[in-house]
Chain A
Amino acid sequence: MIRARKLGKRFGDKRVLRAVDLDVPDGAFAVVTGPNGSGKTTLLRLCAGLALPSDGQLEVGVPRARIGYLAHEPLVYRELTALENLELYGRLYRVPERRERIGMLLERFGLWEARHERVGSYSRGMTQRLALCRVLLHEPELLVLDEPYTALDAAGAGLLDVQLAELHRERTLLVSTHDPDRVDSLATTRLALA
């Protein structure tokens, strides 16, 4: 599903990625590790389609509409409620049975009671969970998750463990993390950036 050969990325003078090779077949669970500044986020942004490579080749076998990307930032409007945010994304991604799906996701991630509150009033953990709702809303075939465990407490992290295992059954995952041991049991492909 993802094939990268000698992938490189430069921003002006700064070189962030150098000659990266990556193969993520359909249904795989790929884990990218590396210290801060090694280019994990940049690699994931390239795979999600938010940036273009400076050198090398990158092929992603799924269209934009079938990719879900979880960034460092939750990518939700703080002034709007959880429901309004998901409504917007639901419309943009043309999610069928939008209302039901949104309701189901909010419940699954424990945000149903807070659905009418401004996201600005949420805790970091709640915002992260909302971001996960956003990512899963349109049932993407490829999930690109940038350090998904950030800001989650033990309960939230446990929930995410279960979610990831379940998602892996039907989708391809590309995950970057600081804590490789947590997802090691699920990982089928590993890439370590210098």
Chain B
Amino acid sequence: MGAVERQYRVPLPVLAVASLVLVTLALALVFFVVPNDADQGFSQRIFYFHVSIAFTAYACFAGGAWKALRHLWKRDPYADLESYVAVHQGIIFGSLVLLTGSIWARISWGHWWLWSEDQLVLFLVLFLFYCAYFMLRFSVDPGPQRANFSAVYALFGVVLIPVSFLAIRIAKHFIHPVVFTSNVTSNLPGSMLWTYCITQVALLVLAYTLYRIELAGKRLDLRLRELRLA
């Protein structure tokens, strides 16, 4: 069964060029154009990426869960692979959240890790969860059962995101008093807002491009295997 070809509207080369352009633009804006933040200075710039990467990771996990739902509910034959690749992208971007967050914490507060940063702790939990997703997937032989298990676990993940976030918030009342305050300024003036938006769009496009690339690669693999067996 050739369940490997789905037609896309935007061809891959166009996406690749677009992401290259956008990411370069974002980098330029963040490091050269936008003014220094009043409180934190240069180190705050990493926040443009940190927040955008976090949101992109959420989008990947949500996309993975959506494809998982399509697999279970509509029996979409392409959806299992797409769900897996989306989750994979999500965990890549999730690791980057942990990395950028850690760097920012070190620069701003002198510690490589801060339990007081809700988003960071949330991503730690999600990282553990989605690593288990991969262990689950690799512990089952390819087939309908593996697809079902992965899909169901991806759905659990997406429910876990808000529940964990809430848990982390209410845990702060008894874990330790908040020593460091969170630092994302909610009202960004003019150029900062633009820079953030462009960075966000750039990263979303980059994530989608990587998703399409990985998907194409995996489909090629599958196709080759099928041709060999047929």
Contacts and interface: CB of A to CB of B under 8 A. Distances in A.
Interface of A: 8, 10-13, 15, 51-52, 54-55
Nearest to B147: A12
A12 B141 contact: yes
Interface in B123-159: 141-144, 146
B179 interface: no
A13 B142 contact: yes
A55 B3 CA distance: 11
B171 interface: no
B10 interface: no
Given A11-B141, A13-B142, 17 more contacts: A8-B1, A10-B1, A10-B143, A11-B142, A11-B143, A11-B144, A12-B141, A12-B142, A12-B143, A12-B146, A13-B225, A13-B229, A15-B229, A51-B144, A52-B144, A54-B1, A55-B1
A49 to B, nearest CB: 14
Q: Which 3 A-B pairs have the closest CB atoms?
A: A12-B142, A11-B143, A12-B143
12 contacts: A8-B1, A10-B1, A11-B141, A11-B142, A11-B143, A11-B144, A12-B146, A13-B142, A15-B229, A51-B144, A52-B144, A55-B1
A8 B142 CA distance: 17
Contacts of B229: 13, 15
A125 B229 CA distance: 40
Contacts, number: 19
Nearest to A13: B225
Contacts of A15: 229
A55 B229 CA distance: 15
A54 B147 CA distance: 13
B223 to A, nearest CB: 12
A16 to B, nearest CB: 10
A11 B229 CA distance: 12
Nearest to A56: B1
Nearest to A12: B142
B140 to A, nearest CB: 10
Contacts of A12: 141-143, 146
Contacts of A51: 144
A51 to B, nearest CB: 8
A64 B30 CA distance: 62
